[in-house]
Chain A
Amino acid sequence: MLRLLALLVLILPTFAVAQSEEIVLGLSREEVAITATFDGSDVLIFGAIKRDAPAPEGGALEVIITLAGPSEQVTVRRKDRVLGIWANTDAVEIDAAPSFYAVASSGPLSQVLTAVEDLRHHVSIPQVIRSVGAPDTVDNAGSFTDALIRIRAGAGQYQMLEGDVLVEEETLFKTEITLPASLTEGDYVARIFITRNGEVVDSYETTIAVFKAGLERWLFETSRNQPLFYGLMSLAIAIAAGWLASAAFRIFQR
C-alpha cells in the first residue's frame, strides 16, 4: 500500500504540467472478500491534493467521492387494481442501474457541483441510472426510476452521504463508505472529484474488487459448473440430515 502511494507520488509530477491541482489516493482495502460470515464492510477512502503552485484564489476546494457496484438491467413493475385485486400491470426496463452506489461529498451536493458538471460526469444517483425510455403505453415513466432509487435507498444500496467527506487544510481528505451485507460480486469503481465553484478541477478513478471467497466461492461455482452434482449433493445432505435427526432422537428416547 505504502509502496503504491510512493510510486504514485513519484510518477504524478511528470503528468502534472497542465493541471495545478491533482489527486493522490489511498484505499483502506483494494478488495473485499465475501466469506460465510460476511456482514457488510467499511471502506476507507483517503487521499491528498498535490499542487505545484499555491492554492488558487476563489471558491473553497470541495471533494466528492462516489463508489459504484456493477451495473445490471432491472425491471421495475407497478401494481394496479384489476377487478379488486392488486396485480402487476406496467413494467419498465431500466437499461443499467448500479447494484450499489454511494455519493459522499464535503458539502451539499447541489452546492459543490453544478448541474452541468453533474450531467457531464454522472455523479448524483439519478445520473448514474441509464434508462433509454419506457414504452409509450406506460404513463408517468419517470416514477419508475424514482421507485428504483427509493427502494434501493431503503435497503442501503443507494446512499447519499452529503457532508461525509472530511477535508483538512484544502489538502487532505477522507471518507468511510459502508458496504451492505447483500453485495453483488464484481469490480466496484471509486471516483474522486475535486471541485471549485462547482466546477470539476480533477478526477481520479480506481477499482475495488468484491468477490466470494472460500466455501462460498466453491459452492457458487459448483452450482453453476456442475449443477447435477450440486443438486445431488444438496439432496444427499438433506437425506443425511433427516436420518441423523431421526437416529439421534431414537437414542434420546431410550
Chain B
Amino acid sequence: MQIYLPIAEVSVNAFLLLGLGGIVGILSGMFGVGGGFLMTPLLFFIGIPPAVAVATEANQIVASSFSGVLAHLRRKTVDLKMGTVLLIGGLCGAALGVVLFNYLKSLGQVDLLVRLCYVVFLGVVGGLMFFESLRAIRRARSAPGAPPQRRKHGLVHALPFKMKFRVSGLYISVIPPLLVGLTVGVLAAIMGVGGGFIMVPAMIYLLGMPTKVVIGTSLFQIIFVTGFTTLLHATTNFTVDVVLAVLLLVGGVIGAQIGTRIGVKMKAEQLRILLAMMVLAVCGKLALDLLLTPSELYSLGAAGGH
C-alpha cells in the first residue's frame, strides 16, 4: 500500500516503513540505543530527503525510547538521578551542536563531515566494545563463578562535587556524567541521532555503571534530547514529517517492547558483543561508500543547500 508523505513529498510503501520501524525498534529495546544511526541511513536509501529523514527520525526515537523506558521503569533499571545529570549536559550539548552544525553548513561539505563523523565514532566505539566484550566472555569461560568485580579508582573518583547514585551503586563526581552528556548532545545534533550508541559505552566504560541500568538510563536521557531536537527541526527547518513518523513509530514501539524482553533474557556480554558487531557493520558500509567509486557521480540538491 502506497502512502504519500506530505512533508517529504514522496510516495512510499506503508508496510516497508512499518517493517523498518519494527526491526529498528527491536534493536532499540535490546541495546538501549535509539536506533537512529541505523534508521537514518535506511531512510536515505528508500528515497526520503536527508533533511526530512534526520528530523523525522528524531521524532520517532522519542516514541520508541518512551516505550522502552516504561518497560525499564517497571523493572527499576533506570537511574533517574544519573539520567537527569546526563540530560542537563545533553541539552546544553544539543544546543551547542545545532550552532556548530549551522556554522559548518555555511562552510559547505557538511555531508562529508557527518559521514566521516559516523565512520570514526562507529568504528572506535564498535571496535572498543567488541574487544572488551570478547575478553569478558573469555574470562567468564576460563574462570566460572569468579565475577571480576574490580573497582578502578582513577581520575573519575578524584573530582569534586560527588553525588550518590543509588540505582547505579556509584558515588562519583557529577563532572564526568555532565561532560559525557554534553559530548553526546553535540554529536547527536551534528549526526542527527539520539546518541545512544556513544552514550551506552561511555556509561559502561567511563562512568562504570552496571550494563542493566545503563540501557534504561540511556533511553530516559534520549527521550528528552531527541524531543528537543524534533522541536528545533520543526520550528526552524519544517522538516518533521508526522505521517512518516507515525508509520515508523507504530512498528518501532512494538519492536521496542519485544526487544526489551529479549534484552532481559540475554547476558550482558552477549548484548554488548552483538551491539558492537552491528555498530561495526554500519561503520563498514559507510566507509565503503566513501572509498568505492559511486555509480552516479552527480547528485541533485535544492538550491542554496549543502
A interface residue numbers (CB < 8 A to B): 34-40, 72-80, 84-88, 93, 143-144, 147-148, 150-152, 181-184, 212, 215-217, 219-220, 223-224, 227-228, 230-235, 237-239, 241-246, 249
In the bound complex, CA of A79 to CA of B292 (Å): 12
In the bound complex, CA of A23 to CA of B202 (Å): 72
Determine if B7 is an interface residue (Cβ-Cβ < 8 Å): yes
Determine if B158 is an interface residue (Cβ-Cβ < 8 Å): no
- What are 20 A-B contacts with C-beta separation under 8 Å? A37-B3, A38-B4, A73-B303, A74-B302, A75-B300, A78-B298, A79-B299, A181-B4, A183-B9, A217-B6, A231-B233, A231-B235, A232-B231, A234-B230, A241-B250, A242-B65, A242-B253, A245-B253, A246-B253, A249-B257
Evaluate contact between A234 and B242: CB separation under 8 angstroms. Answer: yes
Evaluate contact between A88 and B112: CB separation under 8 angstroms. Answer: yes
State the Cβ distance, B92 to closest chain A Cβ, in Å: 20
Determine if B225 is an interface residue (Cβ-Cβ < 8 Å): no
List the A side residues contacting B294 at CB < 8 Å: 79, 86
Q: Which of A35, A87, A228 is in CB contact (< 8 Å) with B231? A: A228
Evaluate contact between B301 and A36: CB separation under 8 angstroms. Answer: no
B1, B11, B227: which has the most chain A beta carbons within 10 Å?
B11
Evaluate contact between A74 and B300: CB separation under 8 angstroms. Answer: yes
Evaluate contact between A36 and B3: CB separation under 8 angstroms. Answer: yes
Chain B interface extent, by class: 35 or more
Evaluate contact between B290 and A85: CB separation under 8 angstroms. Answer: yes
State the Cβ distance, A182 to closest chain B Cβ, in Å: 4
Evaluate contact between B109 and A88: CB separation under 8 angstroms. Answer: yes
List the B side residues contacting A219 at CB < 8 Å: 6-7, 242-243
In the complex where A238-B62, A245-B256 touch, is A224 in contact with B300 (Cβ < 8 A)? Answer: no
Number of interchain pairs (Cβ within 8 Å): 187
Q: Which B236-295 residues have C-beta < 8 A from chain A?
A: 236, 238, 240, 242-243, 245-246, 249-250, 253-254, 256-257, 289-294
Evaluate contact between A79 and B66: CB separation under 8 angstroms. Answer: no
Evaluate contact between A234 and B64: CB separation under 8 angstroms. Answer: no
Determine if B170 is an interface residue (Cβ-Cβ < 8 Å): no
Q: Which residue of B lies closest to A180 (CB)?
A: B11
B interface residue numbers (CB < 8 A to A): 1-4, 6-7, 9-11, 47, 59-60, 62-68, 70-71, 109, 111-112, 116, 227, 230-231, 233-236, 238, 240, 242-243, 245-246, 249-250, 253-254, 256-257, 289-294, 296-305
Q: Which of A39, A74, A148, A215 is in CB contact (< 8 Å) with B11? A: A39
Evaluate contact between A86 and B290: CB separation under 8 angstroms. Answer: yes
In the complex where A37-B4, A86-B291, A245-B67 touch, is A228 in contact with B112 (Cβ < 8 A)? Answer: no
State the Cβ distance, A65 to closest chain B Cβ, in Å: 25
List the B side residues contacting A227 at CB < 8 Å: 234-236, 238
List the A side residues contacting B300 at CB < 8 Å: 74-77, 148, 151-152
Which 6 pairs between the two chains have the least Cβ-Cβ distance? A231-B234, A242-B66, A73-B303, A181-B11, A245-B253, A147-B298
Q: Which of A73, A77, A85 is in CB contact (< 8 Å) with B299? A: A77
In the bound complex, CA of A147 to CA of B197 (Å): 37
In the complex where A74-B303, A88-B112, A183-B9 touch, is A237 in contact with B4 (Cβ < 8 A)? Answer: no
Evaluate contact between B234 and A79: CB separation under 8 angstroms. Answer: no
In the bound complex, CA of A95 to CA of B68 (Å): 48
